[in-house]
Every structure is written in structure tokens, then in C-alpha cells.
Structure 1
């Protein structure tokens, strides 16, 4: 069903909100408004229950201990998995991406149970990935080349029921030549930036999933300039 009203849920800003990831909520609100789509954004702190009636759920990055605490509380709460089961859009960045999987590495490298919304396993690598990342997105998603910033030590292994979000052109990503993963309407990435500010096509993908229909074009000149500037800084146009 299509919708002209979208409820956005920003999960645990007190634990998962590094590198300006909350900017992802702002760009979704703005791009929806330009198309006449009303939005309601709810910030859910870690001592609050996660509502199950949201349309888009956003998780940001965080340090090891906040990530572990977030995973424990989200598993105990159950609201996010319930929303994902009914078809809500879920977008996780960095630590938020890892905890969407079955397991990730804790502060000492110990395995920590995730939410199992994506068929992925993450662990700590030997070297830290820091810097710009560029990738070519899976063709079925119809999103242009992506640009972002990564700062993590994770290595993420994809299972059989997920697909890689993008093939790495520059940077590290999952550590195996690919960046991120998705299944249905659940998508994770290591990209900060914020990711949806740098990649308006990705923001529109989430809005399109949530609205249940195609979106009308809008003036993307300023967003396009930012995107092209960052892409050309890493992979100069030929």
C-alpha cells in the first residue's frame, strides 16, 4: 500500500549517533517534504520501548560498549525485529549495521549476539579501515555510485540469504571487496557521511520502500554537487 505519511524512528541516539548519523533523519524529512509526503520523527532513547508501527527505522554508529548495550536492549525489547517482520524499512550504519546481523565482535573481540535481521556475521579485523569509501550499488536497487566515510575495524561475512549492497571501488567496506548488505527492506552499510546526505539516491530508495510507490523527481542540484565533489576527490572522473 502507498502512503503519504511516513513515521521515522531514530533508535538510541544516546548510544548510536557518531559522525553525525542523525543527519540521516533530516535528509529523509526534507526529501519527503519536497514531495508532499508528511513525516513524523521519533527519537527513541535506550531506556524507552521501540514502537512497532514505524515505517523507517534508523540506527547509527557507536563505540564498542554502547553497541553491545544497544544489542542487548534491542533483543530484550523486541520492537525492532517485530517491525522488520511486518515489512518496515530498517537502515543501519556501522555499529548499527553489525548489530542487525547474527553476531559481531565485542570490545575484546568476543562474539556478541545481534538481532539476526540480516544473515551476516561480523568480527574484528587486524587493521582499522579509515577514510573515504566509494562503491557501485547492486543494479536491482537502482541507486547511483555511493560515497561515504568509514571508520571501523569490522570484517563482515555475508550468508546465503543476503546480497552485498555495493562492490567496493575505493576503501574497505566489508573487507572482502563488497560494502554493506541487504535483504528485503533491511539494509546495512559502513558508510558515514552522513550516508543519506551524501547519497540522495539511497535516501530516495528508503523513502520509496516506505511509501510503497515511485517518487516524483525533485531539484537535486545542490545535493548532486556535494556528491560529485566527494566522488571526484576519491575517484577522479576520466
Structure 2
């Protein structure tokens, strides 16, 4: 049985990122595996023994509530420290960092990612694509990554975190204004997402795992303690067509970087 934790869908469920848990469950079931989703709502303890955890996006107030709960509960931190895979989207990425800006103030994050989030000058919105860096637990990724970004957070990665992807389209983690005074500012402006330990985080909506089946299977393989290459492949033409359509989609002009 594969147990998938859907973390705080009541506050981090604004952009349809709950779909990532559905994709994981369906891809497992298509391989003949039993899989169930376990919603964990605000105020409920986060079990630390599930096989994989997903977090989605939300607004400022929701982020603050999520951070307070996850810090005080500690279950997700214990799960990540035990090596259980965690997949976080947008606000989920920010909440798992060291700090983020919300409602005009700096809020302490969960601390699973060496990342801090301030504000962007202009909203990053539109198609985003990247080449996987193959950092850490993503070493087996070979296929380009695609999603839809919609955020005002400028996320800067510290030395303990590495980017999930190197941008080929879109804005990614941070803009010119947020990185102008950084010694590695030009590199930071090429980053999309973050990888640290067993945590993979990204600004890609879509849902991300519907648009990136190899990434979904990487997470499944990690949850099951096996190599990605040993996971039975799935042939789903509709998903292949979706990827082609999204990579070929017209894109809005990239902001000044």
C-alpha cells in the first residue's frame, strides 16, 4: 500500500495542486499497486510514517497558518528528516524555506529548505520551463520540466539547497530586483525550484506531476524505495500530447532579468 499525504489542502489548495496527489495515486494504481490519499487538514497532526507528502499553493494568510501548524506539529519535518519524499508547490515551497514574506512581514518557515522568500517587483505569471539540474535526489531526471507559474515571491537559495531546474522559459524563482546585490545573482535568476534532502519544490502549477510524468515517477520510485529505472513504464499518449502542446505554447514576454 502506498500512502500519500495531502498536506493542508484546506489552506494550501488554491491552485489545483491537490492534483499532484491524484496523479501519484493514479500512476501507482495503473501499475497494479494499491495507493490511497490521506488528507491532513489544518489542526490535524501530520503522520510522520506516510510514504510521500504533497503540498500546494495558497495566499498570504493561508501560508502563515500552514507554517505555524507545520512548525508546531513537527510531523512533516520528522518525515523529511527520515528521508520520506516531500513535494511542494509555490506557497508550499516558500513555507518549507527558512522565511518568507506575507501580509507585510517576515514569517518563519519550516526550515526544510535553505531558502528565503521576499517580494518580486512584478508578478511572475505564464508558462515556465527548465532543464533538470539532476541535483541530489533528482539525479535520474532527464526530461525537460514544464508548468505554469503565478507568484510574487522572490526565492533565493542558500548553499544547502540546489535548484530543481535551469530556466529555458519564464521567470523562475527570483527577478532582477531581488538578486541585484547578490554575488551569485545572475545564477539565482536562472533557478527554478529547489532540491534539498528528500524535498523537491517548485513554482510549477499545472498540476506539475500531470505535466511532468517522469518527475511523478521519480517521486513514486523514491516513495517505494526503488530506482526510477526499475519502475514499470507507462505509455499514456494523452500525456505525451499535453507535453508537446505546452512546450509549443506561445509564451508571454519574459520580464527584464
TM-score by length of 2: 0.87
CA contact (8 A) 1:120 1:157 kept: yes
**Corresponding position of 1:135:** 130
For residues 49-95 of structure 1, give each alpha carbon's deviation from its aligned partner in whole angstroms, at most 9, with x where no partner exists. 11111111110000001111110111011110011111111011000
**Corresponding position of 2:110:** 115
**Corresponding position of 1:145:** 144
Higher strand share: 1
Matched, 1:222 2:238: yes
Give the SS at the match of 1:122. Answer: strand
Q: How many residues align?
A: 230
Give the SS at the match of 2:164. Answer: strand
Q: 1:183 to 1:234 in 2, by over 3 A?
A: farther
The equivalent position to 2:191 in structure 1, one of 172, 178, 188, is 178
For residues 166-212 of structure 1, give each alpha carbon's deviation from its aligned partner in whole angstroms, at most 9, with x where no partner exists. 01111111121110010122011001001111111111111011111
For residues 97-142 of structure 1, give each alpha carbon's deviation from its aligned partner in whole angstroms, at most 9, with x where no partner exists. 111110111121x211001111111111111101111111113241
**Corresponding position of 1:233:** 249
**Corresponding position of 2:30:** 34
TM-score by length of 1: 0.93
Q: After the TM superposition, which parts of structure 1 deviate over 2 Å for at least 4 consecutive aligned residues?
A: none
Shift of 1:36: 2.0
Runs of 5+ consecutive residues of structure 1 not aligned to the other structure: none
Runs of 5+ consecutive residues of structure 2 not aligned to the other structure: 175-188, 252-257
Distance (whole Å) between structure 1 residues aligned to residue 140 and residue 101 of structure 2 = 29
CA contact (8 A) 1:7 1:41 kept: yes
The equivalent position to 2:216 in structure 1, one of 203, 219, 229, is 203
Distance (whole Å) between structure 1 residues aligned to residue 250 and residue 168 of structure 2 = 10
Matched, 1:20 2:19: no
Distance (whole Å) between structure 2 residues aligned to residue 35 and residue 223 of structure 1 = 16
Q: Which range is displaced more, 226-235 or 44-53?
A: 226-235
CA contact (8 A) 1:170 1:234 kept: no
